[in-house]
Structure 1
Amino acid sequence: MAPSGVIIPVDKNWEFKQADKEDAEFLPAAQFPTNVHLDLLHHKLIPDPFIGKNELDVQWVGEAQWVYKTSFSGASVPEGAKAMLAFDGLDTFATVVLNGKTILETDNMFIPERVDVTSDLKEENELVITFDSAYLRGWKLVEQYPDHKWGVWNGDNSRLAVRKAQYHWGWDWGPALLTCGPWRPINLEIYSTKISDLSAESTVDKSLKSASIVATAEIEGSGSDQIRFDLSLNGKLIASETTTTSSSGTTASVTFHLDSPELWYPFRYGPQPLYHLTATLLSSSSEIHCVTKRIGLRRALLIQRPLTDQPGTSFFFEVNNIPIYCGGSDWIPADNFIPRISRQKYFDWIKLVAEGNQFMIRVWGGGIYEQPAFYEACDELGVLVWQDFMFGCGNYPAWPSLLESIDREARANVKALRHHPSIVIWAGNNEDYQYQESAGLTYDYSNKDAESWLKTDFPARYIYEKILSDACSDLIPSVQYHPGSPWGAGRDTHDATVGDIHQWNVWHGTQEKWQDFDKLSGRFVSEFGMQAFPSVKTIDAYLPLGKADPDRYPQSSTVDFHNKADGHERRIALYLVENLRYAPDPLEQFVYSTQLMQAECLASAYRLWKRQWKGPGREYNGGALVWQINDCWPVTSWSIADFYLRPKMAYFTVKREMAPVSCGITRKTHKHPRDKYTRVYIDTKTQIEIWGSNLTLENLTVDVVVKAWDVVTGEEVYSEKAKEGLELPENRSTEIVGMDVPVKQKGEEGKVVVAAYIIDKAGGKQIARYVNWPEPLKYVHLQKPKELKAVLSEDGTAVEISAEVPVKGVAVECEDDEVLFEDNLVDIVPGEVVRIGVKGAKKGTEFGVRYLGMN
């Protein structure tokens, strides 16, 4: 007999077959949890969709029906107990049959389901799950509701009708691969009473000297009238209290008051202590069931307040009274086949984010509510999370049963994730308000009659401003809810003065120059980006014949197939031709050129927007999240690290821009006309502006040195201390100096490279450096260095780089994948050695270099 309170994983002996094919035979599943593509791949029944153009050959998979089955031994259910089958995630239209009886039908990938099977269990049990085609079912629903004004960006209308990861329909960075299967664990639970949920609503006093935690347990079943709550930190019990359950026996709650609490901070601003909160059901002093959650105590606020001297309001996050400039990135699922993303891979990704000085990651609304390991990694490493609900780029319908499903989905996932201290905001959708504007759908922000929204051609407003808002208000009242991204309290979503914006007028839209990002700012930019090719190693991995493939060149049909963005050929070419001299061959140099382009573009955005982080009352820009950190398959995209976690060069330039202290220079040409009737200019002046960004929490006293070199000869033409004993106040950017470009004689501004160095006054150590080049770079007469050196240091911890002339964008390469660089794509000027930290190198390790202007 099985005791009450056991959990039996139903994860063995799974088999699958195509349900709508008469002669199909069951085959063993490759793993569990799983999906059909993984199992077909395992048995070599389909080609790898990530290789070549194989994606086209597997589209039939998403249009077929599939069945999974297993058998498991039953367990006797003690008197007064019950047996529940818990399905953590079924993708998506599933019919579940236990021992010949239909026990569940699902239509939402994101809702965990639990079914009472007490009376259905036998000594030997057969569990069969049939999955219908989400694609075909979606189109049937579209046809069933012809009055809805269907429309999407990316994928097709059928996805709007289905509560499934929207990127499975294909996106402008990912393939169309309609999966199905038991994508999360299945367990048999036997118990008489249990804790079904444990929550902790914490409040940290503004003084940070005290905190309170309201711990609440929801109880299912009977047989216990007492519950003990324990709070511990680092294995030490902090507080404990035993209480009785409510009169209904379904809940119990206690409040802990802590003096001098250990607070959770974003990395670099403090530690990430995680308390263990445990609830234990008791009966006659015996422990029946316990649940533990790891929680963090922090005071996290979204600050939206009037600014000192600009219109609109701020939009920035404050954690434990510290305003945080949220440089970070957007996140898509790390694979099209989610069950094969390991816990370690999640930690590797978030570690890459943190090591790249990115304080926030936004879980984008077209993917999934991520796996527990994702949020656990963010909690442990101190990365803030912006969490979208799973809606994106379309006009979603709102029939009653769908609204009911969405409400269940929202509440289940908020409950599952609300204990994570890293999550500081929930947003209702991705770009659905922008779609509403584009399609001219009805939206009257002043109308607060929620029921009337359902009668308009934009009924999804009811989802974002009623269902999701209510779920967050009920379950996580202390965490900010934001109806959409972008969204600005009913203003046009492009309004840069309120809320967050997505800035796509570089690449998309009006295709502005990235040098003008300062004119394209917003209070918080939650999307922007520039494409670049992935590592050459990644391209070789998806070409069917690898390095020997005849399509191994940038404009080949296979390489183009691995770029899903409309018009990518023109847009990559546009930004390349505007800025760089480049050639499509060899592939390695072209890949380098696109990565240099992306790196320059994104660094410009971070640098210019962070310049607008100017301290209290002047937080004109409170954050920038680049689209995107990662990929879901090997592809040319906006990611700054490719599918195999190989950083592109932009990863390193972003890392430098978000360093504790950084320096910026901008170069502007001022033209003065002869008079108002002519366009002839009598005077042209090129000036530079230099500023410093201090994201630390200490005021710094620094010297600022400015140097300049002739780009052709390498001759130093200027070296002066521009400021001495300058104070860089904490947590803001400060203007340092404006001056003419230093030249030997007028007219040579286009051939002078300028560098600024911020030097700590007390220690004499250089703490920031930036090299500014004449732009566009294609006009610069770049020299090929004769003495460019990139050698491993004596202690093996760094590559030391130097040259006798200025060299733009030196990228250090190594064939050994075990060798990892801590920085890369550095600008070299005469007279100094730049050190790039390296791990995994040893004596004899060979390094190659690429740079702008190299053949």
Structure 2
Amino acid sequence: MKINLTNPWSLTVLPHRLWRSLTAGCNDLTCAADLPAPAAPATVEGAVTVPATVPGNFELDLFRAGLIPDPFFGTNIIDLRKLEDRHLFYVTTFDAPPDGTDGLVLHFEGIDTVAKVYVNGEQAAACDNMFIPWDVPLRNLRPTGNEIMVHILPAMMVAQERPVPPAAGAFDHSYASLTLRKSPASFGWDILCRAVSGGIWRPVWLETVKAVPALDQVYLYTFAVDPSAEDRNRGGAMLDLYYAFRTADELTVGYEVAVEGQCGTSHFAARREVWHTCGNYHIPVPDARLWYPKNAGEQNLYDVRVTLLRNGVVEDAREFRIGIRLAELDRTSCIDADGKGEFRFLINHKPVFLMGSNWVPLDAFHSRDAERLPEALRLLDEAGCNAVRCWGGNVYEDTPFFDFCDEHGILVWQDFAMGCALYPVWDEGLRENLRREALSVVRKLRHHPSLCLWAGDNECDLFWMMCYPFRRNPAENTLTRELLRDVLRAEDFTRPYLPSSPYVDEVAFARGAQGTSEDHLWGPRDYFKGDFYRTAPCHFASETGYHGCPDPASLREYIPEDQLWPIYDEGTAEDPFRGTPNPAWLAHQTSMELNETNTFGYRIGLMTSQVRHMFRDVPDSIDTYARMSQMSQAEAFKYFIERFRTAKWNKTGIIWWNVLDGWQQVSDAVVNYNFRPKLAYSFIRRAQEPVLMAFSDPQQDGRYDLHAVNDTQTAVVLTYEVRDLCGAASQDAAPLLLSGTVTVPADGNTVAARLDLTGRLDHVLHIRWTDADGNTHTSHYIAEPKHLEYRPYADALRLCGFDCFAGF
């Protein structure tokens, strides 16, 4: 039974110096751990008490109350650092349920981060992990007016009491993240502002936990599949059911566990007597409906019910969905001298080419994640993605995210929440906290067929190797090599596990992490068709991106008008990029300090240099600059994706960075925080269509191959033409360079023609193809989009119908 808490919450905010007055002057958060509930924190002189929103973050409550300005406007986000010493006291009341309180618990889906929970003045729980739920048993309740107080301690001050040894390391502003299980990006990243927040960030409710006998765990996984040769969506399968339950009986005589599943006309059922309080058994499914990701097959899902019976009477049950599928990763450590290696995902023994986005925080204030999720998922799906990488600097997404991916065929690569740091692997408190977190997350998510890979962290292996000249072997990272590995071996051995991304195993370490089969392609961030991007040897890119300026309408939501243009403080009409970026631009690039010399102070300059790589013109307004930047970004993403697709199956996937911003900023995202897409979003949608015609990089003879790539499971016949739009008044009036018909096998890649582009390297070519059903698709190509003239390029985009700008 679930009971929502309907009474309002209040929030009292106290600076640490005032909190000491409630704790007999104790300055040590650790020594105060066993103190009774603070008496009336709202009455302390200097305390601020406001109505609270739960789920919520305290800064948002202060903003709603008019006590701080909009954190996302101008440089206001920088000032939030002054609030990092705040203690938070959330208070509400509730009445005891009229039908009794046996087994009643107070359930928190998420508290950010270190907190003590008091019920009627008595401490009932201590929490220290943002990522996992907490159940607080409730006893000795009053009939009415029971008080809940949640005291959230300031994360930065808690971190000060947790020593970090010299051998650990992080970005300057992120050291506190090393010992706290809190979203790493909240301490500031180059893709998210610093907002070391606090709050009850996910829902909270009362619920009754069933007394014994009761199911504790149920895990139904695919043991084997045998897809039909005639239809890979059908076939035979074997499932395995693991169960664990609690009972007060001395013996398990009379107990049974039953399972039943239904997907369309396919049905399975089994029922077994049990001999212990845990066990497992096989369930054959001779006429199974198999699950595949988008483009590779159908997303068949079974509705499942597992029942615990005693003497034929149902005592407890669990209901959920599964997809019958096997997930494998065929991987070599590195690429050999001949360019051979492997990094490919197989679903039901079938290789799948992956296209998708990295998934970063939906909001700097995570209590708003849930409301932003549906639109973010729509954007992901409509971009043609069949994969998403849940990046390790984020929180773990909730069940609705994975349900959507199950239903829409989007494979999920899930990092554990660590990134870009050398964590103190020797810290026993951190180890136990991470182990508890991993158990909770794995047990929650393992039923989802979309979940295809666990990864230990983001780029931590590379950070281990950065201690030059004391280069350290990432194999010493026992958090990912032992702790997480062992949790997965015990709890979810059905999926591949990658200790880091990129993963530097012993072979890669001996090679200095050069030539790994999976890599993050950032490099010099210069011309997007430069040597680094053209020659990157990896078979699978799990990160790559390029900057794009938000549209002027979006910029005006957070950049003051007097700082909007020129972007630089000494900019002139002749040289708008002279001097230093204006303060609001620095804050929204994102930088924790208002200068260009800090860790993340480079991004405005980077974006400007990328514009200059593509265009020879000097922009004369924010409108022109933003268009140029979005054009540069769009062409870069198009090239990155098409380079991998035209090399299918030598290349096996690309997960670009990224679909959506988590706050209002200048970034690689292709959709602004306000959900307004940049030009790149429409380019990506075309580049990720299941059937694509695109040119690859030049061959040794200097000519360019036109590829027909087919990710569908049936052969296609395409009729195509290529025209040169340079100087043309219309598409049909443009000179015809190529035409023909090509047959592309299922899941195949065929060279349709080869073209000499001498004298046309900077021309915009228009590609059109029509399938056997009469459906027509279009794209374009520029062999060398470098130092172009802005106006002719813009005119060619309009001629193609590809000038999909918003907010101008």
**TM bin (shorter chain):** 0.7 to 0.9
**1:292 to partner: Cα distance:** 1.4
Which residues in structure 2 correspond to 1:168-247 (within 5 Å)?
Answer: 168-190=186-208, 191-193=210-212, 194-207=214-227, 209-220=235-246, 222=248, 226=255, 229-233=258-262, 238-244=267-273, 246-247=275-276
User: Hey, what's the Cα distance between the residues in 2 that align with 1:10 and 1:219?
Assistant: 29
TM-score normalized by the length of structure 1:
0.80
- CA drift at 1:276: 1.8
TM-fit CA distance, 1:386: 0.4
Structure 1 SS opposite 2:414 = strand
User: In terms of mean alpha carbon deviation, does 772-781 or 345-354 score higher?
Assistant: 772-781
Native 8 Å contact 1:346 1:374 kept in 2: yes
Provide the C-alpha distance between the structure 2 equivalents of 1:127 and 1:765, rounded to a whole number of angstroms.
61
Q: Which runs of 5+ in 2 are unaligned?
A: 19-43, 229-234, 569-581, 591-599
CA RMSD, Structure 1 to Structure 2 (Å):
3.3
Counterpart contact for 1:692–1:728, Cα < 8 Å: yes
* SS of aligned partner of 1:46: coil
CA contact (8 A) 2:302 2:321 kept: yes
Q: Is the 8 A contact 1:230 1:237 kept in 2?
A: no
What residue is the counterpart of 1:665 in the other structure? Answer: 695
**Partner amino acid, structure 2, of 1:737:** A
The residue aligned with 2:705 is 689
Q: What's 2:437 paired with? A: 409
Which residue identity is paired with 1:811?
D
Q: 1:74 to 1:245 in 2, by over 3 A?
A: farther
Distance apart, 1:36 and its partner CA? 1.3
Does structure 1 retain, via aligned residues, the 8 Å contact 2:95–2:142? no
For structure 1, the 5+ residue unaligned runs are 1-5, 448-452, 454-460, 614-618, 671-684, 743-747, 789-800, 816-847, 849-855
CA distance in 2: counterparts of 1:750 and 1:401, whole angstroms: 59
Counterparts of 2:95 and 2:729 in 1: how far apart (Å)? 81
For 1:206-355, what aligned pairs fall within 5 Å after superposition?
A: 206-207=226-227, 209-220=235-246, 222=248, 226=255, 229-233=258-262, 238-244=267-273, 246-247=275-276, 249=277, 251=278, 253-282=280-309, 287-304=314-331, 310-342=338-370, 345-355=372-382
Paired amino acid for 1:14: W
**Residue 232 of structure 1: CA displacement?**
3.5
Alignment of 1:536-551 (within 5 A): 536-543=552-559, 551=564
Which residue does 1:826 correspond to in 2? none
Indicate the residue corresponding to 1:489 in structure 2: 505
Q: Which moved more, 1:556-565 or 1:213-222?
A: 213-222
| Counterparts in 2 of 1:222 and 1:180: CA distance versus 1, 3 Å | farther
Cα shift at 1:163: 0.9
Q: Which residue of 1 aligns with 2:521?
A: 503
Q: For 1:155, what is the secondary structure of its paired residue?
A: helix
Seen in structure 2, the aligned counterparts of structure 1 residues 163 and 802 have a Cα distance that, compared at 3 Å, is closer
Alignment equivalent of 2:803, drawn from 788, 811, 815: 811
Partner of 2:318, secondary structure, is: strand
Once the two structures are superposed, what CA deviation does each residue of 1:426-450 show, in whole Å capped at 9, x if it has no partner?
00000111111112455447x7xxx
**CA-CA distance at 1:336 after TM superposition:** 1.3
* Paired amino acid for 2:786: P
Instruction: Note if 1:569 corresponds to 2:579.
Output: no
Code of the aligned partner of 2:428? P
What's the % identity of the aligned pairs?
Answer: 23
Letter in 2 for 1:181: G
Q: CA deviation at 1:549?
A: 5.4
Say whether residues 1:159 and 2:177 are aligned partners: yes
Q: What is the Cα deviation at residue 633 of structure 1?
A: 0.6
Identify which of 519, 524, 544 aligns with 1:528.
Answer: 544
Q: Secondary structure at the match of 1:541?
A: coil
Cα distance in 1 between the residues matched to 2:12 and 2:240: 49
SS in 2 for 1:707: strand
Moved more, 48-57 or 211-220: 211-220
Q: Does 1:9 align with 2:25?
A: no
* Residue correspondence of structure 1 range 297-696 to structure 2 within 5 A: 297-304=324-331, 310-342=338-370, 345-398=372-425, 399-440=427-468, 443-444=472-473, 453=476, 461-490=477-506, 491-492=508-509, 495=513, 497-507=515-525, 513-514=529-530, 517-543=533-559, 551=564, 553-555=566-568, 556-564=582-590, 565-613=600-648, 619-666=649-696, 687-696=703-712
Deviation of 1:187 after TM superposition, in Å, equals 3.4
1:91 aligns with 2:112: yes
Q: Report how far residue 183 of structure 1 moved.
A: 1.8
Which amino acid counterpart does residue 633 of structure 2 have in structure 1?
Q
Q: Distance in 1 between matches of 2:81 and 2:565?
A: 25
Q: Secondary structure at the match of 1:39?
A: helix
When residues 578 and 356 of structure 1 are mapped into structure 2, their CA distance, relative to the original with a 3 A threshold, is same
Aligned to 1:736: 752
Provide the rounded CA distance (Å) in 2 between the counterparts of 1:12 and 1:48: 27
Once the two structures are superposed, the pairs formed by residues 72-87 of structure 1 within 5 Å of their partners are 72-75=94-97, 81-87=102-108
Tell me which residue corresponds to 1:778: 788
Specify whether residues 26 and 814 from structure 1 end up closer, same or farther in structure 2 by C-alpha distance, changes over 3 A only.
closer
Alpha-carbon deviation of 1:273?
A: 2.5
Match of 1:133 among 154, 159, 178: 154
Aligned-residue offset at 1:637: 0.4
Range moving further from structure 2, 27-36 or 773-782:
773-782
Indicate conservation of the 8 Å contact 2:356/2:656, yes or no: yes
The answer as to whether partners of 1:531 and 1:572 remain within 8 angstroms in 2 is: yes
Q: Distance in 1 between matches of 2:349 and 2:48?
A: 59
In the TM superposition, what is the alpha-carbon distance from 1:411 to its structure 2 partner? 0.9
Report the CA distance between 1:241 and its aligned residue. 4.0
Instruction: State the Cα deviation string for residues 168-207 of structure 1 (Å, max 9, x = none).
Output: 1111121111111222233333332333333212234133
Distance 2:745 2:200 in 1: 54
Q: Is 1:494–1:502's contact at 8 Å kept on the other side of the alignment? A: no
Contact 1:494–1:501 (CA<8 Å) still a contact in 2? no
User: Residue 63 of structure 1 corresponds to which residue in structure 2?
Assistant: 85
The answer on whether the counterparts of 2:359 and 2:390 sit within 8 Å (CA) in structure 1 is yes
Q: Structure 1 720/179 Cα, relative in aligned 2: closer, same or farther at 3 Å? A: closer
Aligned length: 742
Instruction: Name the structure 2 match of 1:18.
Output: 13
Whole-Å separation in 1 of the counterparts to 2:303 and 2:761:
60
In the alignment, the residues of structure 2 paired with residue 308 and residue 496 of structure 1 have an alpha-carbon distance, to the nearest angstrom, of 11
Cα deviation, 1:245-299, whole Å, max 9, x if unaligned, reads: 553x4x3655422122112221233332221222334456554443211211122
Moved more, 61-70 or 104-113: 104-113
What CA deviation, in whole Å up to 9, does each residue of 1:778-834 have, x standing for no partner? 26883886xx9xxxxxxxxxxxx975xxx7x8514567xxxxxxxxxxxxxxxxxxx
Per-residue CA deviations over 1:584-638 (Å, capped at 9, x if unaligned) read 432222111111000111111111122221xxxxx32111111111111111101
